């Protein structure tokens, strides 16, 4: 399995990015990581990891980087030799099976959108899926930032793609699809949500459609896939990350205040339990968010990703690329109104 890794993407690149690639290459003997970016800087980082299998870590030089704060489309047009575009170019030509980057999310999505041939047959717009925890296991939230102006057909496709991802990659059986809304009642919501609900109710997926899901009920896990437009999903994602950081920061401070009064090793046990609990909410466990609906596989990582997140992203990307995920998506979307609309655009 060959995966292109944007070695220059992320807040602290290339250090932790290359370190994560080395760990993944060591642990996964069938994986080849194509490091894309400034060759001199990448080689300097590789020199710090002498045990890395260099024969499975080739470098493709890219002289430019799309900054995290740059406007994606403008930067991609001005910087033709950027590492993100080169990663996508490698997948477009079949040199790699997947792409991983912790760089500019907008640029990652825009690079895919520039070439409609990267879309799977029948897909209108790719969507970014985030993995959230719940009482019943991991759930998929899609879309969290790829499509800010979604149409009902897009949300319908996101539900199907998210359910297939939950089943094939997360091991969820019969994942039910919920529609993020301001109330559980059918009449609640906007034209977008009401039309989406009607599409599901009239479709072969009606038995898998859970209905409306309020924001506070996401973590129940009754719906293992929750769909929304990219604007709402991105706000939800960022708010969730902030809430987790705030909550665990407060718990840590409270625990430190309690430590002197706790008997024996009770404080250490509580601290260990808190650490285990926090790990369930960390994005590093899954590495990043998959971009669903494209040929090959793509994982978009958090800008502050460390070596562990990159390692896990490469692992998941390899699983997605080698799995039957894409075939099932194409099969399930074929013949649907949304797929026919996508075909008409092509």
Percent helix, strand and coil across the chain, each to the nearest 5? 50, 15, 35
Q: Where are the beta strands (DSSP E) in 98-150?
A: 98-101, 127-132, 139-142
The tens digit of pLDDT for each residue in 7-56 reads 999 999 999 999 999 999 999 999 999 999 999 999 999 999 999 999 99
Domain at 1-126+293-323: CATH code: 3.40.718.10
The tens digit of pLDDT for each residue in 205-245 reads 999 999 999 999 999 999 999 999 999 999 999 898 888 78
pLDDT at 337: 59
Map out the domains of the chain as residue ranges. 1-126+293-323, 131-287
Strands of the sheet containing 177-180, edge to edge, are 59-61, 32-37, 2-6, 98-101, 297-300, 289-292, 127-132, 139-142, 225-227, 177-180, 209-213
The tens digit of pLDDT for each residue in 66-89 reads 999 999 999 999 999 999 999 999
The tens digit of pLDDT for each residue in 276-322 reads 665 555 555 667 899 999 988 999 998 989 999 999 999 999 888 86
Is the Cα dihedral 22, 23, 26, 30 positive or negative? negative
Asked whether residue 123 carries a pLDDT value surpassing 70, the answer given is: yes
Q: Average pLDDT, stretch 89-100?
A: 93
Q: Average pLDDT, stretch 265-277?
A: 65
pTM (predicted TM-score): 0.88
Contacts of 45 (CB under 8 A, 6+ apart): 7, 14, 15, 18, 19
pLDDT at 128: 95
Domain at 131-287: CATH code: 3.40.718.10
Quick one: pLDDT band at residue 268, thresholds 50, 70, 90? low
Q: What is the 3-state secondary structure (H, E, C) of 151-197?
A: CHHHHHHHHHHHHHHHHHCCCCCCCCEEEECCCCCCCCCCHHHHHHH
Average pLDDT, the chain: 88
| Two domains, one topology: 1-126+293-323 and 131-287 | yes
């Amino acid at each position: 399995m060959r995966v292109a890794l944007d070695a220059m993407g992320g807040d602290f690149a290339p250090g932790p990015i290359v370190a994560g690639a080395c760990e993944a290459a060591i642990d996964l003997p069938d994986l080849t990581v194509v490091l894309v970016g400034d060759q001199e800087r990448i080689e300097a980082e590789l020199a710090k990891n002498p045990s890395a299998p260099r024969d499975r870590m080739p470098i493709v030089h890219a002289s430019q980087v799309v900054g995290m704060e740059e406007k994606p489309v403008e930067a991609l047009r001005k910087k033709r030799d950027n590492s993100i575009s080169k990663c996508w170019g490698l997948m477009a030509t079949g040199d790699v099976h997947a792409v991983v980057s912790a760089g500019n999310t907008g640029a990652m999505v825009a690079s895919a959108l520039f070439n409609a041939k990267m879309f799977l047959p029948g897909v209108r717009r790719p969507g970014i899926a985030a993995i959230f925890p719940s009482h019943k296991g991991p759930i998929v939230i899609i879309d969290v930032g790829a499509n800010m102006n979604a149409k009902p057909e897009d949300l319908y496709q996101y539900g199907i793609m998210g359910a297939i991802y939950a089943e094939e990659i997360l091991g969820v059986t019969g994942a039910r699809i919920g529609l993020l809304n301001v109330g559980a009642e059918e009449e609640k919501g906007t034209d977008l949500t009401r039309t989406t609900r009607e599409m599901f109710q009239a479709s072969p997926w009606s038995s898998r459609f859970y209905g409306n899901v309020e924001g506070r009920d996401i973590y129940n896990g009754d719906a293992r896939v929750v769909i929304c437009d990219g604007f709402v999903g991105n706000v939800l994602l960022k708010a969730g990350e902030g809430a987790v950081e705030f909550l665990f920061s407060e718990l840590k401070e409270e625990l430190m205040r309690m430590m002197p009064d706790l008997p024996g090793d009770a404080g250490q046990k509580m601290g260990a339990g808190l650490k285990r609990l926090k790990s369930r909410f960390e994005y590093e466990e899954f590495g990043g968010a998959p971009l669903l609906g494209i040929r090959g596989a793509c994982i978009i990582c958090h800008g502050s990703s460390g070596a562990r997140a990159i390692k896990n992203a490469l692992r998941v990307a390899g699983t997605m690329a080698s799995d039957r995920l894409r075939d099932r998506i194409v099969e399930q979307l074929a013949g649907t109104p949304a797929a026919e609309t996508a075909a008409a655009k092509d």
